[in-house]
Amino acid sequence: MNNLSVPHLLGIRDLTLMDIETVFKTADSFKEVINRPIKKVPSLRDITLANVFFENSTRTRLSFELAAKRLSADMVNFSASNSSVKKGETLIDSVNNILAMKVDMVVLRHASPGAALFLSQHTSAKIINAGDGTHEHPTQALLDAFSIREKLGSLKGKKVAIIGDILHSRVALSNIYCLQKLGAEVMVCGPSTLIPKHVHLLKVHVSHNLREALLWCDVANMLRIQLERQEAEYFPSLRDYTLHFGLNRALMDSLQKEILVMHPGPINRGVEITSEVAEGPNSIILNQVENGVAIRMAVIYLLASDIER
Ligand code: CP
């Protein structure tokens, strides 16, 4: 067994508090490495990973690729849009063909919830879930919590509001699990149509008022509206959404307190957040991106420790 209680990273729900703390401690050392002039360690020279992406990505795909390279592992990239999936090949056939080329670990992004679990049950590779539909995005939640910890210290007792399209968000669910395991209180905020009906089962506060959420929280994590996953109309117009749930400078100033502002990206500037706030003094959005590489190095490194060489 590796230093985590799980053989794959499928979701935050499966992790213990000790797992999360082990990832953070390991990421602390890797963050130091990636800020050195030579940003590389020879730890995983004998490991090969494949980024297998069935959905678009900028941050997650590049961050995993850089993380693997900083660990001296080999990394290949598979993108469904220009692969033999277009000729009818299944997910399992694609992955088994990649594994036949002696790949040890697969980083999977897929539109179907449970796709990463399915692969872990039907192939021999180590699987890291890089986002499965509306279900989980575990490395995003780890890097988000790591970024809050870096700015505010312990997460214990901190109040984090997750604001926007909670219904279609894998980032929201993974963040709720991760923040609660670390002792934070979580509120979800958005129009009632974009809050899942049974969200109270997750023991989160719920608000449909942005100002109320901002006055309550220490950290606001702004999510984008996932238009690509919406099969119905959930609000009258984007303009109306922005009027009620968009974060702007005037609203920030009116709070008369300091909060951290986060966003997992990609940002829809002028919809859920203005450029002024995204680039303002309270924003830690680019810190999140930087920390993503250290967190993913830690996850790859820890999971690789029980790969037979
Ligand atoms: N945050 C995130 O998952 O971004 P990408 O879709 O660009 O990977």
Residue 83: the pLDDT is: 85
Which CATH number does 138-288 carry? 3.40.50.1370
Report mean pLDDT in 10-residue bins for the chain, 309 residues.
Answer: 90 98 98 97 97 96 98 95 87 91 96 96 95 97 98 98 96 98 98 95 98 98 83 83 97 97 96 98 98 98 92
Indicate the domain borders of the chain: 12-137+290-306, 138-288
Which atom of ligand 1 sits closest to the CA of residue 58? Answer: 7
Report the C-alpha gap between 78 and 33 in whole angstroms: 27
Q: How buried is 37 (Cβ within 10 angstroms: 0-12 exposed, 13-18 middle, 19+ buried)?
A: exposed
CATH class held by domain 12-137+290-306: alpha beta
Determine whether the shortest distance from the Cβ of 175 to ligand 1 is under 6 A: no
Q: Does the CB atom of residue 289 touch ligand 1 within 6 A?
A: no
Q: What is the pLDDT of residue 165?
A: 95
Q: How far is the CA of 165 from the centre of ligand 1 (A)?
A: 15
Please give the single-letter amino acid code of residue 261.
V
Distance (angstroms) between ligand 1 centre and the Cα of 144 equals 12
Residue 84: predicted pLDDT? 87
Task: State the pLDDT at residue 33.
Answer: 97
pLDDT value, residue 231:
67
CA of 60 to the centre of ligand 1 (A): 5
Same fold, 12-137+290-306 and 138-288: yes
List, as one string, the DSSP characters of 216-260.
H-SEEEE----GGG-SS--SS-HHHHHHHH-B-HHHHHHT-S--E
Distance, CA 170 to ligand 1 centroid (Å)?
11
